[in-house]
Amino acid sequence: MTRRLRIDDLTPSAVPERPALSPDGAHVAYVLRTVDTEADRDVRRLWRVPTRGGAPERLTAGWADTAPAWSPDGGRVAFLRAQDGPAQVWLLPAAGGEPTPLTALPLGAGEPVWSPDGTRIAFTAPVDRHAEPDRDDRARSRRAAAPAVVDRLDHRADGVRAHLHVVDVPTGGCRRITDGDWHAGRPSWSPDGTALAFAAATAPDADLTGHVPVHVVAAAGGVPARVGPADLVAGHVAWTADGTALLVVAAPGPGGPTRLLRVPPAGGPPADLVAGGGAGAPPVLVDDGRAVLFRDRGRLCSVPVDGGTPRPVPTAGLVVSDPAVAGGRVVVVRRTPTSRGELVCLDPATGAEAVLTDHGAPVPFPEEEREFTASDGTAVHGRLVRDPSFPGPRPVLLDLHDGPHDAEALHRELAARGWVVLLLDADARHPLEPLDRLIAEGLVDPARQAVAGHGSTAHRLTGQGDRFAAAVVDGLRPGRAPGGPLRERDHGRTPTLFLHGAEDAHVTRQWHAALRARGVPTRLVLYPGGAGFPPSHRLDHHRRLVDWVERHAAPTAAPRPDPDHWRRRLAALARLHDVPGAVLGVLRVRPGGEDDLVEVAHGVLNLATGVPTTTDSLFQIGSITKVWTAALVLRLVDEGLLDLDAPVVDVLPELRLADPEVTKRVTARHLLTHTSGIDGDVFTDTGRGDDCVAEYVARLGEVAQNHPPGATWSYCNSGFVLAGRVVEQLTGGTWDAALRELLITPLGLRATGTLPEEALLHRAAVGHTGTRPEPVPVWGLPRSVGPAGLIHSTAAEVLAFARLHLTGGLAPDGTRVLGESAVAAMAARQAELPAGHLPGESMGLGWFRTDWHGRALVCHDGNTPGQSAYLRVLPDAGLAVVLLTNSDGSQPLAEQLLGEVFAELAGVTPPPGPRPPDEPVTADARPHLGTYERAGQRIEVLVGEAGPRLRTTATGPLAELEDDPVQEYDLVAVGRDRYVVWEPRWRAWVPVTFHRLPTGERYVHVGVRATPKVG
């Protein structure tokens, strides 16, 4: 199974934008948009490509160069550059050379539009109408603390409005030619260069009506005169070639569909050139001014300027935008089923085309073009994005927007999750009828419908009843009246998410408040800086949309982890519990779909160096290694090389344990379930050579037998080293090599390893110890005990291993790494643990098994000097969670954080840990007084002044890692032979159980070890 596109894959894309043809049609200047993820910004630079074939070349090196416009003589390209301030108009010699600035306005300039004679450039520019000349900054600072007086609904406290300016190119002299408490739209020069046409809501009540009529003003300045009907909502404006009319993309009123109108400046009714069809994007003249190009629902169409029948321009792509015309050629940005967009030069008469660029990478799930016939015979053009491998009916998102809107990754993410995305133009007539058709086809589930679009569009649909289970509003359509939704905002009851720029969200706030007051689920997310979202905001926007529609329109789907939430919780709890650095990883396996994988990091890897923790940082996973070793053993069982219940000596005839009878009886199952009875905490360092594990096993004859095999349970590191030696014997190499060959490589892991020189190639954590954490002086355990605890890895790669145990042994690409029976055996009950002893009630093969309120979970923790790791796997939820830390005191962090994760994502919480009873229990501790000892620890049960006490003394190599090898605790009775002690380092109660074997030997179970009584 190949990895599908996720929302995060949005960032690397390179997309051409805004092509501009040279007057002779020989070259195209265009903007190439890429993403600088480190700086969290889009990068736009100007490029040029010949229309007759040739390689594109970069023209500028700025990071925000946009809006190229050729001079009428083709000698220069005007463009916008934002450099250390707001965007200004710059000029670039077409023959080559460095660009030079033309304007230096306080608040910047808008897109340049050349006059027909090439001597002037018109543009809109933001103006602080209340500022004194040349003192805008001071005026804004002064007003920041002044009272705000509001008369209009579209009030802006900063007093800034966009107005028309004209700059004289030879001299650089610039003048403003409009003024007023309104915004001027993009200007269009009359063919004789004497006037400028633009759209503006100049009426005193425009904030209430939403009307944006067309105006004309003399290029030298003066009072703008309204042209055409007063109730239009106009957007793009252009002149006919003879200057006798204006071509206007406009709606007849707020919320209505846009049309292409021919408006006579001298008066008279406008003519609808598209005869009831739709129109979008600026109109562009072709055929020597006799026809006009426009975009209708993603299609390029043309119509005679004097009226006639519109006809589509044949193109092989699904969506075209930004048409540029010159020299008898037309260049567009064309999207195809598998491309986000390339520049294409085409013949509008025949559709013959030549692809000029190849910047983008293909995307999966090709868009399917569909044409639906509405009940009145109207053709509704749409596109579908879906994964055909998912059976229907599926949840659907109806996405209504004005043309391309940078959501390819969003759509593919939804498709990978089993959704159908239906893309329709925002002005599509009968937008619900295509949905009805998909329902009738069995492709869409009628109970799981969601809608996304601009404010007026979404409001219109959600106000018609409760058809939609979820809605997402991402801003009002440009040019639409902000007052439109206000009048009927209380008609809908659809759970609605608002994603909006904070600077222009006054209507959205009121709509959100109205839904909230009625008890409708709603959320308002405001992004700083208006609609110009940086890449991180776009990614956040898309993630929130996916989360919202899945929560409300696909409630059967398991909840998805929210990276921001868990990043905050990890940081807060790590600080609370003094953990220097940690990484949390959460994996949700979705059969037939794309897995959810979330990784978040906090803190530093080493307090001495301050190197930040990142999600790809390496940590030691300690005894979680034992589950990997168990998996290696089960691989060999799958291959018929090993019998779990046959004596190990059959594979290792040279094996000699302290008890000859145990040597004959001990099996691999004993080793993997900690029931062999071999004294467990033996950390003999036998060097770094490839024979170190064999040498360690050769010395096990010197290690005491803790208890007879199978007689009780006691955590046993040495048993897993012996299991690792079995792996070596059967594979003919080292345990490390077998690990790499049988697990690491098949799983595609790149950072996981066993040796410190491998860890040095990555960002590696250093262990810390103490209540005031300090780095420990050692890296980790000896190589000789590798099979018991030497693996280092990242959160994502630990989860890649855990995934095997959620998929029946399959890797993400479908490769079988473990047999299904092996995975089941590892999770099955194999041995019992003493009552009340964490982390489980029973033992699988390598895994601890525990019951969380009736749900079976497998788990393992790991500890090395100064580092602790925690892995939990809940198979019935397809959920695996890992926490890697560089602290030996992170147990409280793990208990609280992992409990929250499983409660949020699986609806289950861990059972309460051991604690003293509410009422004191009387117990006789006298039979337990004395000394208990095993490798690594001596335990004494004493009589203290306040009752029985437990004293532990670390011995052997482990004692060297302890600041104080001797610890004492009060024994608090919880039942007969059962006690708890408070461990301040872990801030937790630890169970202590005394018991006797049938043969009479006494033991104390504490710290998951059974320690025999010796005196």
Looking at the fold, whether 509 and 572 belong to one and the same domain comes out as no
The verdict on residue 283 lying in a domain is: no
Looking at the fold, whether 574 and 549 belong to one and the same domain comes out as no
Segments in 351-454 forming alpha helices (H): 408-416, 432-440
Residue 599 has pLDDT above 70, yes or no: yes
Which of 398-402, 652-656, 724-728 shows the lowest mean pLDDT across its residues? 398-402
Q: What mean pLDDT is predicted for residues 436-451?
A: 94
Confidence of residue 490 (pLDDT cuts 50, 70, 90): very low
Which of 272-281, 414-423, 551-560 shows the lowest mean pLDDT across its residues? 272-281
The verdict on residue 605 lying in a domain is: yes
Residue 3 has pLDDT above 80, yes or no: no
Residues of the domain holding 814: 563-906
Confidence of residue 13 (pLDDT cuts 50, 70, 90): confident
Last residue of a domain, one of 848, 875, 906: 906
Looking at the fold, whether 522 and 615 belong to one and the same domain comes out as no
| Contact predicate 292/284, CB 8 Å | yes
pLDDT tens readout for residues 745-764: 999 999 999 999 999 999 99
Confidence of residue 864 (pLDDT cuts 50, 70, 90): very high
The verdict on residue 444 lying in a domain is: yes
Nearest to 839 by CA among 873, 807, 791: 873
Amino acid found at 636: L
DSSP state of 876: G
Looking at the fold, whether 953 and 893 belong to one and the same domain comes out as no
Amino acid found at 788: A
126 DSSP β-pair partners: 162
The verdict on residue 567 lying in a domain is: yes
Looking at the fold, whether 398 and 530 belong to one and the same domain comes out as yes
Which of 311-315, 534-538, 568-572 shows the lowest mean pLDDT across its residues? 311-315
So what's the pLDDT on residue 905?
94
Looking at the fold, whether 774 and 857 belong to one and the same domain comes out as yes
Looking at the fold, whether 584 and 468 belong to one and the same domain comes out as no
The answer to whether the peptide bond before residue 393 is cis (omega within 30 degrees of 0) is yes
So what's the pLDDT on residue 614?
98
369 DSSP β-pair partners: 383
pLDDT tens readout for residues 977-1015: 999 999 887 778 999 999 999 999 999 999 889 999 998
Instruction: Say which CATH number the domain at 185 has.
Output: 2.120.10.30
Confidence of residue 391 (pLDDT cuts 50, 70, 90): confident
The verdict on residue 723 lying in a domain is: yes
Q: What mean pLDDT is predicted for residues 445-452?
A: 94
Alpha carbons 213 and 872: distance in angstroms, whole number: 63
Half-sphere exposure of 596 (CA within 13 A, CB side): 22
Last residue of a domain, one of 312, 335, 359: 312
Instruction: Say which CATH number the domain at 375 has.
Output: 3.40.50.1820
DSSP state of 272: E
Looking at the fold, whether 699 and 801 belong to one and the same domain comes out as yes
DSSP state of 783: G
- The token duo for 679 is 């004294």
Looking at the fold, whether 595 and 661 belong to one and the same domain comes out as yes
The answer to whether the peptide bond before residue 264 is cis (omega within 30 degrees of 0) is no
**Number of domains composing the chain:** 4
pLDDT tens readout for residues 96-152: 889 999 999 999 999 999 999 999 999 999 998 777 655 555 555 665 666 766 776
pLDDT tens readout for residues 416-430: 888 999 998 876 778
Last residue of a domain, one of 535, 553, 571: 553
Looking at the fold, whether 784 and 840 belong to one and the same domain comes out as yes
Query: Does the predicted model carry a pTM greater than 0.75?
Result: no
Q: Which of 22, 302, 617, 623 is catalytic?
A: 623
Amino acid found at 444: V
Alpha carbons 472 and 495: distance in angstroms, whole number: 9
So what's the pLDDT on residue 207?
81
- The token duo for 635 is 């691989």
pLDDT tens readout for residues 650-707: 999 999 999 999 999 999 999 999 999 999 999 999 999 999 999 999 999 999 999 9
Q: Are strands 444-453 and 394-401 parallel, antiparallel or unpaired?
A: parallel
At 732 the three-state DSSP class reads: coil
| Contact predicate 353/345, CB 8 Å | yes
Task: Quote the distance between the C-alpha of residue 639 and its chain's center.
Answer: 40
Q: Determine what percent of the chain is predicted with pLDDT higher than 70.
A: 89
Residue 479 has pLDDT above 70, yes or no: no
pLDDT tens readout for residues 943-972: 988 899 999 999 887 667 667 889 999 999
Half-sphere exposure of 259 (CA within 13 A, CB side): 18
Instruction: Say which CATH number the domain at 959 has.
Output: 2.40.128.50
Residue 403 has pLDDT above 60, yes or no: no
Which of 7-16, 493-502, 868-877 shows the lowest mean pLDDT across its residues? 7-16
- Catalytic (active site) residue 842: no
So what's the pLDDT on residue 83?
84
The verdict on residue 729 lying in a domain is: yes
pLDDT tens readout for residues 787-838: 999 999 999 999 999 999 999 999 988 899 999 999 999 999 999 887 666 6
| Contact predicate 77/47, CB 8 Å | no
Torsion sign, CA atoms 383, 388, 392, 397: negative
Looking at the fold, whether 572 and 449 belong to one and the same domain comes out as no
Q: What mean pLDDT is predicted for residues 17-29?
A: 95
Confidence of residue 408 (pLDDT cuts 50, 70, 90): confident
pLDDT tens readout for residues 122-131: 999 999 877 7
DSSP codes of every residue in 452-477: EE-HHHHHHHHTT-S--SEEEE--PP
Nearest to 936 by CA among 706, 777, 723, 721: 706
Looking at the fold, whether 721 and 574 belong to one and the same domain comes out as yes
Confidence of residue 8 (pLDDT cuts 50, 70, 90): low
What are the distances in angstroms from CA 164 to CA 121, 281, 481?
Answer: 11, 20, 21
Q: State the CB neighbour count (10 A cutoff) for residue 388.
A: 10
DSSP state of 248: E
The verdict on residue 451 lying in a domain is: yes
Rg (CA), the chain: 36
So what's the pLDDT on residue 788?
98
Q: What mean pLDDT is predicted for residues 766-781?
A: 93
| Contact predicate 372/437, CB 8 Å | yes
